[in-house]
Chains A and B, each alone.
Chain A
Amino acid sequence: MKKTMLLIFGAVMLYACGQKTEQSGESTAAEQKPKTEEYDPQRGEGKFDKVEISDNLDAAMAASGKQVFDMKCSACHKLTDEKLVGPGWKGVSTKHKPEWLMNFITNPDAMIDKDPQLQAQLELCLVRMPNQNLTDDDARHILEFMRQNDGVK
């Protein structure tokens, strides 16, 4: 008899546990709703939609960009096409759109997770580009410095 009681009690407990699992199952499903937004490999992901650049170089911006490069980028990137830790910068401003570059500079983690080109690059470099916490202005100046490096006058 004692055993029967225990069995009944156990069953009730199991039932309670079952309910709980169902509930948490529902909430998990709700959280895992597929995202409708598609990743745009031309633009990248981040705060920059359209970056205005002129045909001519803004020399002051490029000079400021070089300062940021010296402090926060040059440890891993050369200005030639030679790879150091990351790829060399030669040609980078013509290979990618300005908004892609600025989004990547300011939002590297999210883009490395999604961008097909960056994922391919990661297989070569094996080091994720760190977020160097650049301001929007820093990123713009870096872009101008990249353009200068690619021969824009």
Chain B
Amino acid sequence: MKPIKYVLGVASLALLASGIQSCKPKSADTAISGDAAAKTYVAPGQYDEFYNFVSGGFSGQLSVYGIPSGRLLRVIPVFSQDPEKGWGFSEETKPMLNTSHGNVPWDDLHHVQLSKTNGENDGRWVFVNGNNTPRLARIDLKTFRTAEILELPNSGGNHSSPFITENTEYVVAGTRFSVPLDESDGDVPINTYKKNFKGTLSFVSVDQKDGNMDIAFQIETPGVNFDLSRSGKGPSHGWFFFSCYNTEQANTLLEVNASKNDKDFIMAVNWKKAEEYLKAGKGRKTKVKYAHNKYSEESHTSTSEIKNEVVVLSSKELKDLCYFIPCPKSPHGIDIDPTGEYMVSSGKLAALIPVFSFSKMIKAIENKTFEGDYNGIPVIKYEAALYGEVQKPGLGPLHTEFDGRGNAVTTMFVSSEIVKWNIKDLKVIDRQPVYYSPGHLMIPGGDSKKPDGKYLIAYNKITKDRFLPTGPELAQSAQLFDISGDKMQLILDFPTIGEPHYAQAIRADKVKEQSVKTFKLEANKHPYVSKGEGETKVVRDKNKVHVYMTAIRSHLTPDNIEGIKIGDEVYFHVTNLEQDWDVPHGFAVKGANNGELLVMPGETQTLKWVPDRVGIFPIYCTDFCSALHQEMSGYVRVSPAGSKVALVGNTGTNLPAE
């Protein structure tokens, strides 16, 4: 209320002044004032403007938020078992988590890419990466479910992934951790990194009809750490750019030993050239082992196929395939502006942001303006590819997105801020604090040809004092900014699941109309489906007992099962007979060393149960479905091995004996 002191008695002026002041936050602490609430308020019953797909980091899952409300709409299980939805517990979903190492029921999901057509988000699929046991996954945006998981051979960790080309021709996967290639003898001293360790860049093709992925080829590179990547677009379509660090090729205490060089590299890959080499048979077939898992919404089951071969192209031997551009100190993000001309790289230990020019890079390659080579790959002179540098942007620049109005916004991890700057003149326009330590940021379509520059979200690693304390472990967070004006305005904090790395958002209109509501019972091709109660039965096959069961409000059929014996494996194949939206039924049995099932209308899912003792075991529906939900239950009788109790299953006919 400072201005008031100077305008005592001049009521109109005072009003004006206090009016202005109340709209404009004095500091970020009071940022949530003025019209922030109205900007994020989505009235009960109303839809949000955007779907925001947010990586769950070490939760292994993908979350879906509505923007601008910040409401959590769904957590999509991907790489980790999810007992809430039976993911990885039902027989149908277990193969999805299979790898060449066997069942790996967890991963570290970092990055999110919406499928694109002509460089714009098209709402077909979301691709995500598994960082730990290298994997890619595709989520179908008709069902919001994981449709496919592909393991990546010749990789020690899949971080610079799953970035895609402008028409979703390829999803890429670059190795964060270089390792000896799978077919070589991996039993080597760790300190022979320089000699034995290799990086690979996998180019995974995407079938435009059904989305199915396939490893088209891998490019073998010197052993370095690939961090992030982005495809070119428009004029730079046909090229892919990967940031790399640890060009020192250190194998221990990387914190120090991988931070020695003044400059690391951006690797520019001409993938159109790679396609030519592949066609000309220049690839080397190598023996590997990897799992390719697909889920079918027709049979409601998944398959896991182990594959044994990939084609590898050598970046050293094949000319004009790869080039290095020097980039200051351990670059993290590499982001391409909407025109496809400017490549923004952020040396996370540098006090500036270099912006490279694609056309200058091409000219430098034509004129061979190289400063030498690195492991046989030409290194372009820094100045020859440089458009300019953003000076003193802040500390610890990590990632950049674009607002579609000629500006870029970069997260500063160390100085905890987001910084907006102009791509043409490289001048800083605005900076706003975030709470605290932002990693990625995203603007809807901010990596595409047509950003939707209304909102920006910063995903923060540290929340400390932002939310009510919940013991030692605190939620990480997202902070929503209105970026439609000159100044970026913080309008909402919301907590996230796991650790949010990258995220993307798409206008709800592009997705919501195609959302599947139920699965057609008539079209269910599950081998153990019961299309109606008349098809339910209990069948013994040696020690395996298959229960063909149906669920409908408000009973299970059969709900009395006898004749199960110790030593049996029981498979409950539950078909949900409902054909109405939002009526799943759950299924659980006492003592199962397993999760529950959650069965969508028209779907069949299977729970395996190995009873461990003689007795009566209740079964019930776990998802409150109707007024008689509590009645939706039954019993299974387990008898000793060798018992003569007949195998029966029924509902409503097993009347009281006394």
Closest chain A residue, CB of each to CB of B557: A75
CA A80 – CA B554 in complex, angstroms?
20
A84-B580 Cα distance, complex, nearest whole Å: 20
Q: Within the assembled complex, what's the spacing in Å between the Cα atoms of A103 and B485? A: 53
Stretch at the interface among A42-50, A51-59, A112-120, A128-136: A128-136
Residues of chain B within 8 A (CB-CB) of A126 are 626-628
Contact residues in B for A9 (Cβ distance below 8 Å):
14-15, 18-19
Whether A38 sits at the interface, judged by CB under 8 Å, is: no
Complex contact B553–A8 (CB within 8 A): no
Tell me if B204 counts as interface (CB < 8 A to partner A): no
Q: Is the CB of B554 within 8 A of A5?
A: no
Contact partner of B580 (CB less than 8 A), chosen from A5, A6, A131, is: A131
A2 on interface, CB distance cutoff 8 Å: yes
Q: Give Cα A132–Cα B521 distance, bound, in whole angstroms.
A: 10
Q: Is the CB of A8 within 8 A of B577?
A: no
Which one of A2, A12, A71 lies within 8 Å of B15 (CB-CB)?
Answer: A12
Please give, as numbers and ranges, the residues of chain A lying within 8 Å of B583 by CB-CB distance. 130
| Interchain CB contact under 8 A, A75 and B550 | yes
A127 interface contact, C-beta 8 A: yes
* A2 to B2 alpha-carbon distance, docked (Å): 10
* Bound CA–CA A8/B13 (angstroms): 12
Contact A70 B532 (CB under 8 A): yes
Which chain A residues (62-117) contact chain B, with CB distance < 8 Å?
Answer: 70-72, 74-76, 84-85
Closest Cβ of chain B to A1, distance in Å, is: 6
Contact of B8 among A1, A70, A128, A131 (CB under 8 A): A1
Complex alpha-carbon distance, A9 and B557, angstroms: 68
**How far, in whole Å, are A128 and B554 apart by their CA atoms in the complex?**
11
Q: Which of B525-575 contact A (CB under 8 A)?
A: 531-534, 550, 552-555, 557
CA distance A28 to B9 in the complex (A): 42
For the residues of A in contact with B, the DSSP-based class is loop
Are the CB atoms of B521 and A72 closer together than 8 Å?
yes
Of the candidates B11, B15, B534, B553, the one whose C-beta lies within 8 Å of that of A85 is B553
B614 to chain A, nearest CB (A): 31
* CB within 8 Å of A: which B484-530 residues: 518, 520-522
Shortest CB-to-CB span from B396 to chain A, Å, is: 41
Cβ contacts under 8 Å, A75 to chain B: 532-533, 550, 552, 555, 557, 577
> How many angstroms between the C-alpha atoms of A84 and B626 in the bound complex?
15
User: Which of chain A's residues has its CB closest to B651's CB?
Assistant: A75
Which A residues lie within 8 Å of B9 (CB)? Answer: 1
Contacts of B577 in A (CB 8 A): 71-72, 75
Which listed residue, A5, A74, A84, A130, touches B11 by the CB 8 Å rule?
Answer: A5
Of B8, B18, B520, B554, the contact of A127 (CB 8 Å cutoff): B554
B4 within 8 Å of A by Cβ?
yes
Q: Does B646 contact A (CB under 8 A)?
A: no
Q: Give the Cβ gap from B115 to chain A, nearest Cβ, in Å.
A: 29
Interface string of B585-605 (1 = CB under 8 A from A): 000000000000000000000
CB <8 Å contact, B553 and A72: no
Least Cβ distance of B631 to chain A in Å?
10
Contact among B1, B18, B534 for A70, CB-based, below 8 A: B534
A75 CB to nearest B CB, Å = 4
Contacts of B4 in A (CB 8 A): 2, 5
A12 to B18 CA separation, bound complex (whole angstroms)? 11
Q: A5-B11, A70-B532, A126-B627 are in contact. Are A133 and B557 (CB under 8 A)?
A: no
* B578 is an interface residue with CB less than 8 A from chain A: yes
Contact A132/B579 with A9-B15, A72-B532 known, Cβ cut-off 8 Å: yes
Residues of chain A with a CB closer than 8 A to B627's CB: 126-127
Which chain B residues numbered 606 to 649 have a C-beta less than 8 Å away from chain A? 626-628
> Is the beta-carbon distance between A2 and B1 smaller than 8 angstroms?
yes
Complex Cα spacing A75 to B554, Å: 9
Query: Do B578 and A130 have beta carbons less than 8 Å apart?
Result: yes
Contacting pair B518 A133 (CB below 8 A) = yes
Question: Closest residue of chain B to A4, judged by CB?
Answer: B11
Question: What's the least CB distance linking B559 to chain A, in Å?
Answer: 12
The residue on B at minimum CB distance from A9 is: B18
A135 vs B15: C-alpha distance when bound (angstroms): 64
Distance in angstroms between the alpha carbons of A8 and B18 in the assembled complex: 11
B555, A71: Cβ atoms under 8 Å? no
A73 to chain B, nearest CB (A): 8
Q: Which residues of chain A are near B14, meaning CB under 8 Å? A: 5, 8-9
CA distance A134 to B577 in the complex (A): 13
CA distance A39 to B583 in the complex (A): 28
> With A1-B8, A8-B15 in contact, is A131–B552 under 8 Å at CB?
no
Apart from A9-B19, A75-B577, list 18 A-B contacts with CB within 8 A: A1-B8, A2-B4, A6-B1, A9-B15, A12-B15, A70-B532, A71-B531, A71-B577, A72-B521, A72-B577, A72-B579, A84-B652, A85-B553, A85-B555, A126-B627, A131-B579, A133-B520, A133-B579
23 A–B contacts, CB within 8 A, in A order? A2-B1, A2-B4, A8-B11, A8-B14, A8-B15, A12-B15, A70-B534, A71-B521, A72-B532, A72-B579, A74-B534, A75-B533, A75-B557, A75-B577, A76-B553, A85-B554, A126-B626, A127-B553, A127-B554, A130-B553, A130-B579, A131-B579, A133-B518
Binding site for B on A (CB under 8 A): 1-2, 5-6, 8-9, 12, 70-72, 74-76, 84-85, 126-128, 130-134
8 smallest CB-CB distances across A and B, nearest first, come from A71-B532, A133-B579, A132-B579, A75-B552, A126-B627, A70-B532, A131-B580, A130-B580
